[in-house]
Amino acid sequence: MAPLADLYQVSMAYGHWRAGRHRAPAAAELFFRRPPFRGSFALGAGLAEGLRGLRAFRFSAADVAYLRSVLPSTTDDAFFDYLATLDASEVTVTAVPEGSVVFPRVPFLQVKGPLLVVQLLETTLLCLVNYASLVATNAARFRLLAGPDVKLMEMGLRRAQGPDGALSASKYSYIGGFDCTSNILAGKLYGIPVRGTIAHSFVMSFRCLEEVQPRDLPPRAGGDPVDLAGLAVSWLQRVCDLLQTPPSKANQGELAAFVSYAVTFPCDFQGLLDTYCVRRSGLPNFCAVALALHQLGYQAIGVRLDSGDLAQQSKEIRGVFRACGAHFHVPWFGTIPIAVSNDISEQSLEEFRRE
């Protein structure tokens, strides 16, 4: 961990050592001048990683050899011998608890110890704390906008700055107030709840109902298995009559994908509605499968939208769910959760909440 530093830190450390000041007592404080995102506060995060970094602070023989190759050839050999003996055992850290609210120009971490070691720790601690605090603060701002009841899921793994950036984003989003992550490894390492739906590729991989295998599902209360595909087709006609949309416009591959997923996960069925047309295909297909599951004693757990005017479409979907619930006498149908994803910003979240 010790080489995770800027070269000038080692150059300055050599200056302190040459001047005989390397063991002078020193204190350094970490603070920020302006809050991120033009806000009024930040969350202090990355502190646990900082402490782990202190415990692992050592220059190995390979590290020292590398430093010999990059520092000027006039550097005293005894300095490299000294670096090989360094650790952070004489360093003390005072900090706010992980995830605390912190304000501009108010120190939230203080490091005390020998001047040379404190100097070498600066970049390392900034690296471990700055990004973590930025992600946690961003997550906290989303939580404040969404309110306490809306579920927030972090799912940025595929767009993250490499594996380390992805794991850090998952971890510190959770500290900042998100409820769960799509990142399996982050769930395993940090105990964050892991959630997920289905992707457009799954829906597009089906072309027709004949591809669904198996297609039979026993009622939840027990009994003989029922052909869920056939049951969904009969419900599709009834749903389309209610919505005044022709069943022929509902994509059969999408219906097959929903049926296949429902047979596989009857207690956790959720649909992705925007692979094709939401109004004429995704929505009636989902309602048909969800109502077929209901007939067998199961309850769908939600839908997801990933494109278009998310706020407006969500309003329309909620209206359809309520209409189906009232018309088919299924009270819970009107409260099916609607998840939105893709390019969610503070502005879009605020607009979504307002509408």
3-state secondary structure of 122: helix
Note the pTM of the prediction, 2 decimals: 0.90
Phi, psi (degrees; rounded to nearest 5) at 98 = -50, 130
CB 299, CB 293: distance < 8 Å: yes
* Radius of gyration from C-alpha coordinates of the chain: 28
Q: Is 309 or 237 the better-scoring residue by pLDDT?
A: 237
For the chain, give every domain's residue range.
7-142, 151-196, 200-354
Mean pLDDT of 48-55: 94
Per CATH, 7-142 and 200-354 having the same topology is answered no
Please say if the pLDDT value at position 344 is more than 90: no
**Which residues, 6 or more positions from 320, have their beta carbon under 8 angstroms from its beta carbon?**
243, 283, 287
**Gap between the Cα atoms of 290 and 271, Å rounded:** 9
Please say if the pLDDT value at position 354 is more than 80: no
Percentage of the chain modeled with pLDDT above 90: 95
Q: Please tell me the CATH code under which domain 200-354 is placed.
A: 3.20.20.70
Please say if the pLDDT value at position 353 is more than 90: no
**Gap between the Cα atoms of 192 and 181, Å rounded:** 7
Please say if the pLDDT value at position 349 is more than 90: no
CA distance to 158, 206, 222, per residue, from 202 (Å): 17, 7, 29
Please say if the pLDDT value at position 142 is more than 80: yes
Which two tokens mark 322?
Answer: 């309520």
Domain 7-142 annotated CATH 3.20.140.10: yes
Mean pLDDT of 142-150: 94
**Gap between the Cα atoms of 41 and 20, Å rounded:** 41
Q: What is the mean pLDDT of the chain?
A: 95
Q: What is the pLDDT of residues 175-230, one digit of tens each?
A: 999 999 999 999 999 999 999 989 999 999 999 999 999 999 999 999 999 999 99
